[in-house]
Amino acid sequence: MTDIHALKVELSSEIEAANDLQKLDEVRVSVLGKKGRITALMKTLGGMSPEERKTTGQALNVLKDEIAALIKSQEAALKKQEMEERLATETLDISLASRPERKGTIHPISQTIEELVTIFGAMGFKVAEGPDIEDDWHNFTALNFPPGHPAREMQDTFFLPEDPREEGEKAKKLLRTHTSSVQIRNMQETMKNASQDGGPPIKTICFGRTYRSDYDMTHTPMFHQMECLFVDKDVTMAHLKGCLTDFVRSFFNLDDLPVRFRPSFFPFVEPGAEVDIGYIKKPDGSIQLGKAKEGDEQKWMEILGSGMVHPNVLKNCGIDPETYQGFAFGTGIERLAMLKYGIPDLRTFFECDVRWLSHYGFDPLERPNSATGQ
Ligand code: PHE
């Protein structure tokens, strides 16, 4: 028994003397490990008389528990001490500037569409949609392009394989070359529901991707168009001129922006007109939209195609041209954005360059003229 007591005193002072975690672990292994001193003593129990084994066994178990508890508390004390030392010596430099956060921007196309929705929404137009994959009938024939007529060549069309489920012109699939095909779908849809809704008026605006085989600084194989359609009784060219003039002046924020209508040909309108807006060339060669002051030369650029919906187009959609008339116009959305925001190259719109986007894109919270009403 005295041995055990002496051992306890000795081991306690060894544990106390272990002043780091590694030394403490060495002590633990030398006492409680497989070849440890207490383990060795336990092994001697087998050679003792039952009486002796009982008392020594009990005493050894108590000793083992006490030593284990001592090691545990020494370990906790050492860990605490280590943490205190680290807290006292280590510092975190919170004065270092954080990395700047990347903020996304709104693409100029999205911004421009939103501005157009705001302008036409205020005039009572609803947004219409149609498919990018069209058929020959909706893209050309219904729009009064005669079969084989050179007018079809005006637009370099991407044709797709024929659709075996359809027949004739509806089987001839293509990527729509303009959003005018949406006019047709819009008028057909209206006439389908005419028995309940009573047919026109139709007052829609459509935005969407259009496709032509062309690529240079001002043409990309995919671009966006906007299309406006108004069909009602007694619609005249005066309505078209008024609506268009209001729209371009409002879009470019120029109350006196000169607007000029020039006769032009599109198979689906009669009469047809191209619309020009006025600008001046500044001495540095750049252009400025607006009215020329005295001494400056008034210059004009074409921005859209327009006209009165051709009677054949109305008939193709089941609308009686004797009762209803309409006007329509269409234009490229990129072109509007380039002019308004001074973007020189159309191709850059689709290159997905983040530097371009952060330069020409719009802060989502501070957009000009957007639907947020700023
Ligand atoms: N669809 C014509 C184009 O793509 C534009 C247009 C639309 C012209 C409506 C007249 C009326 O060039």
366 part of a folded domain: no
365 part of a folded domain: no
Average pLDDT over every residue of 146-173: 85
Whether residue 38 sits in one domain with residue 127: no
CA of 227 to the centre of ligand 1 (A): 8
Of the ranges 59-68, 203-212, 307-316, which one carries the lowest mean pLDDT score? 59-68
Whether residue 112 sits in one domain with residue 62: no
Whether residue 60 sits in one domain with residue 171: no
DSSP sequence for 213-244: S--BTTB-SEEEEEEEEEEETT--HHHHHHHH
Report the nearest-CA residue for atom 4 of ligand 1: 178
CA of 339 to the centre of ligand 1 (A): 19
Residue 149 has pLDDT above 90, yes or no: no
CA of 329 to the centre of ligand 1 (A): 6
Residues near ligand 1 with C-beta < 6 Å? 178, 180, 227, 266, 269, 305-307, 328-330
Domain final residue, candidates 28, 61, 89: 89
44 part of a folded domain: yes
Helix (H) or strand (E) holding 280: strand 269-281
Whether residue 57 sits in one domain with residue 146: no
CA of 277 to the centre of ligand 1 (A): 17
CA of 207 to the centre of ligand 1 (A): 13
Give the residue numbers spanning the domain of 314.
108-360
Query: With bands split at pLDDT 50, 70 and 90, how would you rate the model's confidence at 151?
Result: low
Structural domains in the chain (count): 2
Strands 269-281, 259-264: parallel, antiparallel or unpaired by DSSP? antiparallel
pLDDT at 119: 97
Whether residue 128 sits in one domain with residue 37: no
Atom from ligand 1 closest to the CA of residue 183: 9
Strands 202-211, 126-128: parallel, antiparallel or unpaired by DSSP? parallel
355 part of a folded domain: yes
CA of 263 to the centre of ligand 1 (A): 13
Structure tokens at 312: 């054949």
Query: With bands split at pLDDT 50, 70 and 90, how would you rate the model's confidence at 214?
Result: confident
Residue 371 has pLDDT above 50, yes or no: no
94 part of a folded domain: no
The residues, ordered by sequence, that sit 6+ positions from 328 with a Cβ below 8 Å of its Cβ are 180, 183, 227, 228, 229, 230, 268, 269, 306, 307, 309
3-class DSSP string for 59-112: HHHHHHHHHHHHHHHHHHHHHHHHHHHHHHHCCCCCCCCCCCCCCCCECHHHHH
Spatial separation of the C-alpha atoms in residues 193 and 195, rounded to whole Å:
6
Report the nearest-CA residue for atom 7 of ligand 1: 330
Atom from ligand 1 closest to the CA of residue 154: 12
Domain final residue, candidates 26, 61, 89: 89
Structure tokens at 352: 């997905």
Count CB neighbours of 177 within 10 A: 21
The predicted-structure confidence for 187-210, as pLDDT tens digits, reads as follows 999 999 887 667 789 999 999 999
Among 153, 176, 180, which residue has the most ligand 1 atoms within 8 Å of its CB, making it the best to mutate? 180
Residue 373 has pLDDT above 60, yes or no: no
Atom from ligand 1 closest to the CA of residue 179: 1
Residue 372 has pLDDT above 60, yes or no: no
Whether residue 130 sits in one domain with residue 39: no
Whether residue 51 sits in one domain with residue 195: no
Whether residue 135 sits in one domain with residue 42: no
Atom from ligand 1 closest to the CA of residue 272: 10
Structure tokens at 373: 């009403």
Separation in Å, CA 199 to CA 192, 204, 225, 231, 315? 8, 14, 26, 10, 13
Report the nearest-CA residue for atom 10 of ligand 1: 306
CA of 301 to the centre of ligand 1 (A): 16
Among 184, 266, 308, which residue has the most ligand 1 atoms within 8 Å of its CB, making it the best to mutate? 266
168 part of a folded domain: yes
CATH number for the domain including 250? 3.30.930.10
CA of 331 to the centre of ligand 1 (A): 7
Among 152, 268, 276, which residue has the most ligand 1 atoms within 8 Å of its CB, making it the best to mutate? 268
Helix (H) or strand (E) holding 325: strand 325-332
Domain final residue, candidates 56, 89, 122: 89
The predicted-structure confidence for 239-293, as pLDDT tens digits, reads as follows 999 999 999 999 999 999 999 999 999 999 999 999 999 999 998 988 899 999 9
CA of 273 to the centre of ligand 1 (A): 10
CA of 333 to the centre of ligand 1 (A): 13
Q: Provide the CA 362 distance to its chain's centre, in angstroms.
A: 12
Atom from ligand 1 closest to the CA of residue 178: 4
171 part of a folded domain: yes
Whether residue 272 sits in one domain with residue 329: yes
3-class DSSP string for 104-136: CCECHHHHHHHHHHHHHHHCCCEEECCCCEEEH
Average pLDDT over every residue of 174-182: 96
CA of 272 to the centre of ligand 1 (A): 9
Whether residue 52 sits in one domain with residue 143: no
Whether residue 39 sits in one domain with residue 186: no
242 part of a folded domain: yes
Whether residue 323 sits in one domain with residue 177: yes
Report the nearest-CA residue for atom 12 of ligand 1: 305
